[in-house]
Structures are given as structure tokens and as C-alpha cells.
Amino acid sequence: ITQARCPKLGLGEQINSENQNPILISVFSFLRWKNYWIRGVLSIAMITSFFFMISMGPVALIFVVMTIQIKCFQEIITIGYRVYRSYELPWFRTLSWYFLICVNYFFYGETLADYFGALVQKEEPLQFLARYHRFISFALYLAGFCMFVLSLVKKHYRLQFYMFGWTHVTLLIVVTQSHLVIQNLFEGMIWFIVPISIVISNDIFAYLCGFFFGRTPLIKLSPKKTWEGFIGGFFFTVIFGFILAYLLSQFQYFVCPVEFNSETNGFSVECEPSDIFVMQQYTLPSSLKNKSVNLYPYQIHSIFISSFASLIGPFGGFFASGFKRAFKIKDFASTIPGHGGIMDRFDCQYLMATFIHVYIGSFIRGPNPTKVLQQLMTLQPEQQLAIFHTLHSNLRERGLIAPTE
């Protein structure tokens, strides 16, 4: 096998004509099926772990997302460190991790202020941090920026700016998207589980359809991808997403927004489900035998989510493939045998997270009374009274409350 990969040994032509050597055919066939077996077993293990983490609740999922984010950041930064041979750059790795801490402080501080308002109001130090959060975040970033400028060395100027840009693009791709994943989680665990499951299922179905029926290459960046796998993956993913949406829409645990309960000092997922998670009757065209059908509106949304995951989501993988080809590497890392690095498994998930966040903001989310109330509670008493009298007058003019003497 080693000789087969070394054309200098003069066996290239013999290996290329595999029909001349049945032993090599058997060896390569064995290695191929062994790789499929390893990938299959570890895929089942990862899916099982995913469902186990879901059962542990939203807090565990937040920590899982943070762990994955840190690992993906480390894999990409390590590639830059090796490709650009930046071993002699002063403070490069230190500054990269410092900027990661700064950006996470900013994003998670914003999350704390938005979703943990009741907790912030109880603790004096948290009130100070929440009030001046953005200024503190900016000051921390400025400190890192100044350290980078002070670390510039004459013979490494261009390389240092390469790596400065490399770090910031990595932060944009990894940290920003992982923050959106957590934002989606707080809208309801169904907005976290369904998109991730759909991407995973599309990867599996496309792989199986390509393995058994694949003949026509899809894109040069990924030679193993085929049109048969692409189309088959789309068809089965839409069906899978539709069924999964039906199953999860029945449970408050999955559909209710994740909110912090100040009385229990924990998360609660109890609510009156919104309209998209209430069974509704839809009238069908008169030409069909059944005149109506009962569906959860979220099932209709799942069709659009599945379509994006199947048709646009793979371009995140193509982007990652192009990135790896540009730097002549096979995988981002070797963390998972048969799969590569963590980033190799989550290249499509990050693109999906952005789509779900935009989709919720555009078509689902309305004004959130809880957030409005939390913001009101941070105002001064005089400001709260002014808002109260304005709201009271408006409701009285509209006839929603009785006029007072």
C-alpha cells in the first residue's frame, strides 16, 4: 500500500491497472469497507450522544456548543499556524485565544442581558457589568489590538497581518455562528434540534444515495459528491424533516421558548404553545379525494428548512472542501476517526444556524413581552412612571380600559 502511494518506486502503472493485480484489489476493497464501517459506527455513536445531550436540557446544550466552538477555532487556527509557518511570530497564539475570549465575552454578555434579566437585577455586580457591557468589551478588544501592534516585527510584517486577518475571519465564521445557534435554542429547543437533525440526515441520505446510485459527478471541489446523492438526499430529508416536526410539535418541552425562572433560579420550558405549534385544518384542492388535512403549521415551515439544508446547506461543505484544497490538507484535524476534525462535521451546521436565525426573525418572531418588561425594569422609577401613564392613556383612548374619575 505504501508503494502504491509512491510513484517513485515504479509501481504506479501496475497499481493504476488494478485488474492486473487481484491482491491489490482485495486490499483496497477491504480498506474501503473498513473505513465505511468505522464511519458508520462513529456516526451512530455521535447521534446517540446528541440525543443524550438533548435530554440533559438547554444548559448542557449551551456548554456543548461552546466546547464545539472552541475546538473548531483551535483546528482552523492550527492550520494557519502550520501553513504559514508562523512558529516564530511573537504572541500569535496568545493573541488568537485572547481575541476568542473577548468575542465570547461580548456575545455571551449580550445573551445574559437579554435572557437573564431577572437574575441581573438581583445581583449588583451583574448590574454594573450589564450596564457597561459593550464599553468593557470594546476596551478588552482595544487592549488586544494594541498588543498586536506592539508585537509587530520588521521581518514578519506581512505574515503577522496575514495571521491577524486569519484570526478575525475564523472568529466571524465560528464564534458568530455558534452564538446564533444559542440564540435559536432560546427561541425553543425545536429550533435547535430540527435544523441540526435535518443537516445530519441530509448528510446521511446523500451519502447512501450516492453510494448505491451515484454515477454523475456534482462538483469538482468534492469529486465524491454526485447528482444522484444530491437529489436523493433532498427528497428523503424533506420527508424526514416533515415527520420530525410533527413529532416534536406535540411537546411543550421542545416548542416553548427557554426562559430563566427567577423563583427557581433555573430554566423553564413551560408556556402556552404559539399558533405554529397548534394543530390546524387545511383545505385541499377539490380534485383530491380528501378535502382537508390536519397539520401543525411548523410542519410547513419544516419543508422550507429542509429544502435549504438540502439545496444550499451542502455549499457550506463545498466551501470547506475548497478551503482544504487551497491548503492541500485532507481534513481539518483527526479528532474523529473516519470523519476528520470537528469542523469537518459542522461545516454545514454553521450556515444552517444563520439561516434559522434570519428565518425566525423574518417569519416567526413577534414582539417579545418578556424582553420588553426586562428592559423596563432596568429604567429609573421616573421613567417607568412616565411609560406607565403614557400606556394607560393610550389604552383608555382605545377603550380597552374603563376611564377613571
Q: What is the pLDDT of residues 327-375, one digit of tens each?
A: 888 888 888 776 778 888 888 888 899 999 999 999 987 666 766 776 7
Percentage of the chain exceeding pLDDT 90: 39
Kindly tell me the sign of the dihedral angle through the C-alpha atoms of 75, 54, 186, 355: positive
Instruction: Give the contacts of 285 (CB within 8 A, at least 6 positions apart).
Output: none
The H or E element containing residue 194 is: helix 190-213
Calculate the dihedral angle through the C-alpha atoms of 96, 102, 105, 108, rounding to the nearest 10 degrees: -60
The H or E element containing residue 226 is: strand 222-226
Cα(334)–Cα(216) distance, integer angstroms = 29
Residue 266: phi and psi, rounded to 5, are: -150, 180
By three-state DSSP, how is residue 240 classified?
A: helix
Among 28-37, 46-55, 299-308, 339-348, where is mean pLDDT lowest?
Answer: 28-37
Cα(371)–Cα(179) distance, integer angstroms = 18
- Quick: pLDDT tens for 45-74: 888 888 888 888 888 898 999 999 999 999
Q: Are 190 and 301 in contact (CB under 8 A)?
A: no
- Quick: pLDDT tens for 218-265: 888 888 889 999 999 999 999 999 999 999 999 999 999 887 776 766
DSSP labels for 20-86? G-HHHHHHHHHHHHHHHHHHHHHHHHHHHHHHHHHHT-HHHHHHHHHHHHHHHHHHHHHHHHHHTT-
Residues written for the chain = 405
Give yes or no for residue 194 having a pLDDT over 80. Answer: yes
Greatest mean pLDDT range, 93-97, 139-143, 373-377: 139-143
Distances (CA, A) of 198 to 163, 240, 243, 317, 400: 35, 7, 11, 15, 45
